[in-house]
Structure 1
Amino acid sequence: MVFFANMRSSLSACIPWLSRLISLSVVVVLVGLMPDIAGIDPSQSILRARAGAQQLLTAEALQTIREDLQLDRSAPERLWDWLTLAMHGDLGVSWVSGVSVMESVQQTAKTSLLLMSTALGMVFIMCMVSVFYTMQRWQKNRLAHHHGSLSSVLVSLPEYVVASLLIMVLSIWLGWFPPYGWQGIQHLWLPSLAMALPAAGLFSRLLNDSLIRVLNEPWVITWLSANISKFQILRFALWRAISNLIPQIAMTIIGLTGGAVAVEQVFSIPGIGRLILGAAKSQDLPMLQGGLLVLLLFSMFISSSSILLQRWLLGHSITSGKLISSHSSFRFTQSKAKRTISLFIFTLLIGCACWALIRNPYAIQFSRLEAPSFAAPFGADAVGRDLLARIGGGMLSTLKMGVVATFLSLFIGLLLGFVTRFSQGLIEITKGVPYIVAGLLVAGLTGMNPNSALIAIVLVSWAPLAAHCASLVMEAKAQPYTHLAPVWGTNQWRVLRYYLLPYVLPPLIRHALLRLPVITLSLTSLSFIGLGVKPPAPEWGLLIAENLPYIERSPFGVLLPITGLVLMAMAINLLFDD
């Protein structure tokens, strides 16, 4: 019996590693077979990447490319050769430039790691400022009035939008930093800040929510009654709050390393994210496979280390059922002022959408970049179309797609977060794929259909929620009442219904709502690379892309969609701020 028990324990420990191996293998195989699956001839993209967009696609030139790269061989044969070389540390050479993939990946990875380290330091400083503010309010017994409107604003702005605004303000208007390039230390701060601000907004909100929940636990009153200093209580509470969010720290590190594709693209930084993006666009399979493999291995290493670190921090309390903590609730705020402000914002957004319904978003009826007037309250775009009609008309469709993507991400994250023994590898692999690269891969595998952007965003957006869910499930199972429930004869369904879900759902739903604006803008940003909605639809991502070159003359086309998402984020978070 002891032998079989040990055997089951060993098999259970091997399942997560088997999940990692299978998930990594599936991604590598799908990328390697992508041209055949999608029916794409990579020789056309390779020829244009080598010779320029004006190169004529003659039959002779294409045949030369095929012979040079051995594209006449089947994709499984090429994939097998690449895997054989990769096992010996050789990732091949680029189909476009002919340089070594390993050397290119190493150089760009160093750049991305430096950028990530600087951004992570900024995130740490900003989060500590937010945490100290929360601690001060707790010491003054004003914790119930705490809310994170600033963090909601920061989370609402994805990196490429923050990067564009920082360039406009700090580079063009003030002249403090160079707008792009990677030649010296002066080029490091602006992209690092663009990456750090949204990450700090998300993590500081999650950390403050966790800290507030810990400070409301019964042991705090017991320690205060025992005359234990508030400093010791706050130190232990912060340790508990951080230990609950170790997987989110890992997610932040992964996102700042490989997920900074947009920032690297905006600032012309030679990082690994930009390398993978360029390889995906040009169908440079060896470079795409090598870059993704390194990025995914890094994601698996960071995620696995975070799980081990979390288990070490929580210690024996995980398995002994002695982790005592209170679960939070999900309800509308009890503050009349917050409800009023939230209702006012929703009314303003709905009023703008209704006003736009009686206007034509497609008709060219004004002069180019016309200034705001009575006839065109927000002015006109570069073509002469009414910006009010386009911004208001695109609001409902943009928000609808964002809500659908957020709900699907929450649902998938909740399901897979409960079975991390089997889904751990999939979570880690998914967290390592930048959403822009995921969009290109989805487009390559499924074709350019209107749902490509939605599929791509859902495929990468559920992983942070699943990691958070897994952490909450582990914490919920370590509670004394959950640990002893089977001893009392409680079946698994009742444990799930009355013990686990009430503990997991409130913070997870708040996390999903916090991600709603950035998921929405991530959907819109895929319009930049030709996925999803096509022009001339009044979609907010297209509006930002179309009007960004004219932001100095006509800022409303860029600032108003961003402001709309920021206001929506503030309204949602104020509504559920308790």
Structure 2
Amino acid sequence: MIGRLTSAVGRSSVVAVVVTAVAAVIGLLPLISGRDPALTVLRARSAEREADVEALASVRRELGLDAGPAGLLRRWLEGLVHGDFGRSWVSGEPVGARVADSLGVSATLTAFAVLVAAAVMALLMARTLVRTVNGRRDDSGNGVAAVLAGMPEFVLGALFVVVFAVRLGWLPTSGWNDLGNAVLPAVALGIPAGAVLGVVARDAIRDAASEQWLRAWTAAGLRRRVIGLAVLRRAASVVAQQLGLLFAGLFGGAAAVEVAFAVPGIGRLAINGAIAQDVPVVQACVLTILAVGVVTSGIGGPARRLLLGRAATAAALTAAPPAPRPPARTWVWICATAAAGIVIGYGLLRDPLAIDLTHRLLSPSLTHPMGTDAVGRDMLARLSHGAVNTALLALAVTATTAVIGVMVGLAANRTSTVSALMNALPPVVVALVVAAAAGPGWAGAVAAVVVTGWAPLAGHARSLAAEQRASTYLTASRALGASPWHLTTRHVLPAIVPAVVRNACVRLPAVALALATLGYLGLGAQPPDPEWGLLIAEGMPYVERAPWTVLFPAAGLIALGLAASSLATRVR
């Protein structure tokens, strides 16, 4: 009992120290960058007032900037102890009230998005569950899930606005007046996340189908409903670990959707505060996002233990390594790869930066097979040149996060606190810190996605590793004297790596989009670079008039997801 209490206190101390350190770094970001926050605040308050020495000195005294970094941190920590987040540097309003209002909005939006994700997951895994209960093997791929996971959230949101808000008039286009305003942004957030959960759930069901207890129950003639509920319980034990991480990730990463739909959530508030260098607002938002992320990320472990009971820790699991699936038809993917290579090669021969204002927003034709953008640049050329950077960099980042996720997952509960913190931290926050220290560029964007992208994979690997370690064949191996290294490398790793790799591959388009989003915010690739995410962002204002400016880059992300999903099915 004393040991558990000590462990809990230790984890709480780590959380408090890390959260405070991150919030402090973000709060001091304007000072770290070397820019003068007094000038930014003065211009935000009054664009007409001249930024002379006296005016800037007055702002510095008012904000406490003349006390230096130590004085700012001391002042903030003293207020935090008393529950005071301070006042906005720009508006002068209490920060706590604004964050509380935004917290309720973001929590509501995220809750609806999780419900949408659960519904999408249920649809994707239904066929696999039915075939498993009926004693048949499901060898279908994850193509549909890859397509849905590769759809950019703000592209889905824009399409939903055009169809359901503008054309049909069923739902509001933006704002936050009632629950009707939550429908479109929640669907846009939930569909890609549900696709990722669907892959995890299908893999969990397939793993259950290879276990001895299922074959024994089927041979004993138990009813299908009983078998189905048992399979769902086993699969839910794996998915439960992801649901908490999903809520935390959506809560902290919904800023783009909140901005697109003018939702007054905490992500939008944090971005606006960062742009305006409103330090108290950014501090409060980051602290709140991290706190919510830690709490929700920690739900997965107890939920898994509740679903499995003693099987989560005792030798009651009878799992065996899953049987390999037959490889996909090679010739189909050879033809598809060759076709994509020809298209990209043809586009590489064109100039992606050539501007011709007389050919603005031309529809696809023989001269411009993918049309032109708002300044007359050839879309095929820009898409082809962007494929190299976007696809290869996203692949490298995904591989890195998968390796880190597996390694952290094998460490079990010892690193769960760090995983929760990193999962709750939006990539834009990390990118801001890196950009302040080293300047904007690809390095900051890559670091931001890597630092925050491994946590969901680590949670998936951790739940799979726990089941494998509690299985009877590993218990027998330990009794025979097998070393922990032998058990990990010969049994645990081969059992969990394929599922984690498939999970990572389905997330690959989201990684590419995250890198692109950071570039659009000025923290990664810079215009006029022909980068897929930037192409989508540049085409969004013209999506109704010239949909090809968005559809072709989005199709590239979807194709990237399909290729990654096909590659993952070959991993044994």
Alignment TM-score > 0.5, same fold: yes
* Deviation for aligned residue 1:227: 1.1
- Counterpart of 1:31 in structure 2 is 26
Partners of 2:366 and 2:394 in 1: CA distance:
32
The question of 1:261 aligning with 2:252 is answered no
Secondary structure (helix, strand or coil) at the match of 2:442 reads coil
Partners of 1:180 and 1:460 in 2: CA distance:
29
* Deviation for aligned residue 1:270: 0.5
- Counterpart of 1:334 in structure 2 is 327
- Counterpart of 2:349 in structure 1 is 358
- TM-score (structure 1 length as normaliser): 0.92
- Counterpart of 1:225 in structure 2 is 219
* Deviation for aligned residue 1:435: 2.3
Within 5 Å, which residues of 2 pair with 1:46-65?
A: 46-52=41-47, 56-65=50-59
Q: 1:268 to 1:13 in 2, by over 3 A?
A: closer
Partners of 1:407 and 1:536 in 2: CA distance:
28
- Counterpart of 1:462 in structure 2 is 454
- Counterpart of 1:89 in structure 2 is 83
- Counterpart of 2:364 in structure 1 is 372
Q: Which amino acid aligns with 1:466?
A: A
Q: 1:104 to 1:154 in 2, by over 3 A?
A: same
Partners of 1:16 and 1:75 in 2: CA distance:
28
- Once the two structures are superposed, residues 295-347 of structure 1 have per-residue CA deviations (whole angstroms, 9 ceiling, x without a partner) of 2111111122322222233222233222222333677x4343xx344333322
Report if aligned partners of 1:19, 1:422 keep a CA contact under 8 Å in 2: no
From 404, 427, 432, the equivalent of 1:435 is 427
Within 5 Å, which residues of 2 pair with 1:232-311?
A: 232-311=226-305
* Deviation for aligned residue 1:256: 2.8
| Structure 2 unmatched ranges of 5 or more | none
Report if aligned partners of 1:353, 1:396 keep a CA contact under 8 Å in 2: no
Partners of 1:350 and 1:172 in 2: CA distance:
38
Partners of 1:300 and 1:13 in 2: CA distance:
14
Please, what is the CA RMSD of the aligned residues? 2.3
- Once the two structures are superposed, residues 222-261 of structure 1 have per-residue CA deviations (whole angstroms, 9 ceiling, x without a partner) of 1011111111001011011001222201011112322211
Partners of 1:572 and 1:482 in 2: CA distance:
32
From 84, 99, 112, the equivalent of 1:118 is 112
* Deviation for aligned residue 1:416: 2.3
Partners of 2:3 and 2:170 in 1: CA distance:
61
* Deviation for aligned residue 1:525: 1.2
The question of 1:552 aligning with 2:547 is answered no
Secondary structure (helix, strand or coil) at the match of 1:73 reads helix
The question of 1:345 aligning with 2:345 is answered no
- Counterpart of 1:510 in structure 2 is 502
Report if aligned partners of 1:181, 1:268 keep a CA contact under 8 Å in 2: yes
* Deviation for aligned residue 1:69: 0.5
Secondary structure (helix, strand or coil) at the match of 2:83 reads coil
Partners of 1:549 and 1:14 in 2: CA distance:
51
- Counterpart of 1:21 in structure 2 is 16
Q: Which amino acid aligns with 1:499?
A: H
Bigger shift: 39-48 or 243-252? 39-48
Bigger shift: 169-178 or 489-498? 169-178
From 392, 396, 409, the equivalent of 1:404 is 396
* Deviation for aligned residue 1:506: 1.1
Q: 1:566 to 1:91 in 2, by over 3 A?
A: same
Q: Which amino acid aligns with 2:497?
A: L
Q: Which amino acid aligns with 1:438?
A: V
- Counterpart of 2:193 in structure 1 is 199
Q: Which amino acid aligns with 1:381?
A: D
Bigger shift: 480-489 or 149-158? 480-489
- Counterpart of 1:78 in structure 2 is 72
- Once the two structures are superposed, residues 148-204 of structure 1 have per-residue CA deviations (whole angstroms, 9 ceiling, x without a partner) of 322211111232222122223323343332221112333221111111111111112
Q: Which amino acid aligns with 2:499?
A: P
| Structure 1 unmatched ranges of 5 or more | 1-5
Q: 1:310 to 1:138 in 2, by over 3 A?
A: closer
Partners of 2:20 and 2:562 in 1: CA distance:
41
Q: 1:216 to 1:420 in 2, by over 3 A?
A: closer
Partners of 2:395 and 2:376 in 1: CA distance:
31
Partners of 1:123 and 1:263 in 2: CA distance:
15
Q: Which amino acid aligns with 1:193?
A: V
Secondary structure (helix, strand or coil) at the match of 2:564 reads helix
Report if aligned partners of 1:137, 1:146 keep a CA contact under 8 Å in 2: no
Secondary structure (helix, strand or coil) at the match of 2:420 reads helix
Secondary structure (helix, strand or coil) at the match of 1:475 reads helix
Report if aligned partners of 1:33, 1:76 keep a CA contact under 8 Å in 2: no
Q: Which amino acid aligns with 2:293?
A: S
The question of 1:177 aligning with 2:171 is answered yes
- TM-score (structure 2 length as normaliser): 0.93
Q: 1:343 to 1:572 in 2, by over 3 A?
A: farther
Q: 1:453 to 1:247 in 2, by over 3 A?
A: same
Q: 1:191 to 1:426 in 2, by over 3 A?
A: same
- Once the two structures are superposed, residues 440-479 of structure 1 have per-residue CA deviations (whole angstroms, 9 ceiling, x without a partner) of 3332343223311111111111111112122222222212
From 40, 48, 53, the equivalent of 1:45 is 40
* Deviation for aligned residue 1:15: 4.7
Q: Which amino acid aligns with 1:334?
A: P
Within 5 Å, which residues of 2 pair with 1:417-432?
A: 417-432=409-424
Partners of 2:4 and 2:112 in 1: CA distance:
41
Partners of 1:107 and 1:118 in 2: CA distance:
17
Q: Which amino acid aligns with 1:352?
A: V
- Counterpart of 2:493 in structure 1 is 501
Q: 1:477 to 1:14 in 2, by over 3 A?
A: farther
Partners of 1:478 and 1:186 in 2: CA distance:
46
- Counterpart of 1:391 in structure 2 is 383
Q: 1:14 to 1:184 in 2, by over 3 A?
A: closer
Q: Which amino acid aligns with 1:61?
A: A
Report if aligned partners of 1:378, 1:388 keep a CA contact under 8 Å in 2: yes
Q: 1:343 to 1:15 in 2, by over 3 A?
A: farther
From 97, 102, 106, the equivalent of 1:103 is 97
Q: Which amino acid aligns with 2:529?
A: A
Partners of 1:540 and 1:515 in 2: CA distance:
16
Bigger shift: 135-144 or 152-161? 135-144
Partners of 1:117 and 1:75 in 2: CA distance:
38
Q: 1:376 to 1:508 in 2, by over 3 A?
A: same
Bigger shift: 194-203 or 316-325? 316-325
Partners of 2:470 and 2:506 in 1: CA distance:
27
Q: Which amino acid aligns with 1:99?
A: E
- Once the two structures are superposed, residues 15-46 of structure 1 have per-residue CA deviations (whole angstroms, 9 ceiling, x without a partner) of 54443233223312322332333323222222
Q: Which amino acid aligns with 1:362?
A: L
